Amino acid sequence: MNAPLRRVGVVVLVLFAMLFVNLNYRQVVKADDYRENSRNGRVQASEYERARGKIVNAQGIAVADAQETGDSLKFLRTYPLKDQYAHVLGYKPVNLAATSLEKLNNDFLVGTSDKQAADRIAGLFTGEKPAGGNVLLTISKSAQETAYTQLGNNKLKVKSGAVVALDPSTGAVLAEVSLPSYDPNLLSTHDTNAALANYKKLDADPGKPLLNRAVSDIYPPGSTFKVITSAAALTADSSLSPDSMVPGGEFYQPPQTSSFRIKNAHEGICPDSISLKQALTVSCNTVFARMGVERIGADKLKRMAADFGFESEPKYIEDQDRNYCGIVASHTGSMTAQNGVVDPPAVAQSSIGQREVKMSPLQGAMIAATVANGGREMRPYVVDRLQNADLSNADRTEPKEMGRPISGDVAAKLQEMMFSVVTSRDGTGRSANVSGLQVGGKTGTAEDGEDAQDHGWFIGFALKDGKPIISVAVFLENAGKGGSAEAARIAGQVMKAYADEKGIK
């Protein structure tokens, strides 16, 4: 055989070898991917042959269900409460990608999870396919409903915002609302052309209804960040107490600047000497800006924020297959000049929650929960347990402590200061007060650029006989004047609704 023919033969053999390797790669390595791909028609038909498991709230009410259709896909995924739970649940479409809890718990909901292996083995003998399992949430009916209603009907007619409520002692998510919202039924319809058209319309909406503002975006926290600044100061100096007198004044001019000044929101609220508790009560900018620069410093301030969870994504649950998706990390940003040296004006601004400091509503609720829980920060979680078709438990989430950013002593001091914000005659968070509960909190008004209205914030908690009941963060996007007071009012309503549901008076 001459050389050209040998070369052709070698090329043909190599090509056959490549085809053989590719065929085995597709049949063996990629088999599961193709078999489980949501666009695989056989997978779709198989999934819809039996009812998808329910997702229910803490009171056992189905917030995601299945309905018989009579068409080729026998069951339709339905969302009875429409947009009220949309950002918690996500949606399960036919040809689009599933999102949030529907995606993360898909295997269990359709009955193919490893946790349901015994049911599938039994099915080999009975001939029955295992039914889908149910996902039981920690979400409180009253807290969720009140957060949704109060946020949507806020007195300032703000259209965008979020509410997150937690059980401080466990980390269980009691409410999670983001507005504007959407109706997931529009995306789960079996009319795939309609579903795609609905998705494109929602995706193009300038109000961003698909965005979960509660966990998936971060905003300037304004004066709510003074809780972190206070924690850093109290930790750095154990002799400091809520009654300690600290320098205040009408303005503060940080070192290394001749023109930059930080002022208070209102004149006359902050005398030259003021107690630390009163400074938080009236939200005195000059006190906390000065403390950040002169008592704490950039490193300790950033470290305290990091201990509370800034700079890292909160994990709703350690099992990555079930971890809530779309969660973003809060940030403190840079406090240094271009030459890398600490910039006092940047530290001053950051100490009052401005400049590059950004926080999610989830993070705000976690800060309040940690203070309420004596300094113990609990991992947030929204799935309480997975329930088999026979109603037995397949798995249950156990509360887990993530860390202790502050001591019990510092937490007690912060509680006293935050109580004053709500209960004092001149406190900025008076509208959060709830009869029968010990409510503490901190309001925040945050600038959002020269051409936008300020954001309104409130983070707080409620105790009963010293025991933590609930923590709440409320965010009103571009609320303008009165935004923080309205956020506090909404938080108080959520706290009251949850306490009433639990019979706490």
Active site amino acids: 223
The three state secondary structure string of 145-176 is HHHHHHHHCCCCCCCCEEEEEECCCCCEEEEE
**CA–CA dist 454, 431 (Å, integer):** 19
Residues 6+ apart with CB under 8 A from 414: 227, 230, 231, 234, 371, 406
With beta carbons less than 8 A apart as the criterion, state whether 79 and 71 touch. no
Largest CA-CA distance found in the chain, in angstroms, rounded: 103
C-alpha distance across the termini of the chain, in Å: 97
180: preceding bond cis by omega (within 30 degrees): yes
Please choose, from the candidates 240, 316, 318, the residue with its C-alpha nearest in 3D space to the C-alpha of residue 280: 240
Sign of CA dihedral 14, 15, 17, 22: positive
The residue length of the chain stands at: 505
Distance, CA of 141 to CA of 56 (rounded, Å): 10
Using N-to-C axis directions, what is the helix angle for 344-351 and 298-308, rounded to 10°?
30
CA nearest 222: which of 329, 371, 406, 361?
A: 361
The CA-CA-CA angle for residues 326, 328, 330, to 5°, reads: 165
460 and 442 in contact (C-beta within 8 Å)?
yes
DSSP, residue by residue, 215-259: TS--B--GGGGHHHHHHHHHHH-TT--TT-EEE--SEE--TT-SS
User: In this structure, how many other beta carbons lie within 10 angstroms of the beta carbon of residue 325?
Assistant: 14
| Residue 292 CB contacts under 8 Å (≥ 6 apart), including other chains | 229, 301, 347, 348, 350, 351, 352
Q: What is the DSSP letter of 499?
A: H
CA 256 – CA 14 distance, rounded (Å): 71
Determine the Cα–Cα distance for residues 162 and 227; give it in Å rounded to an integer.
20
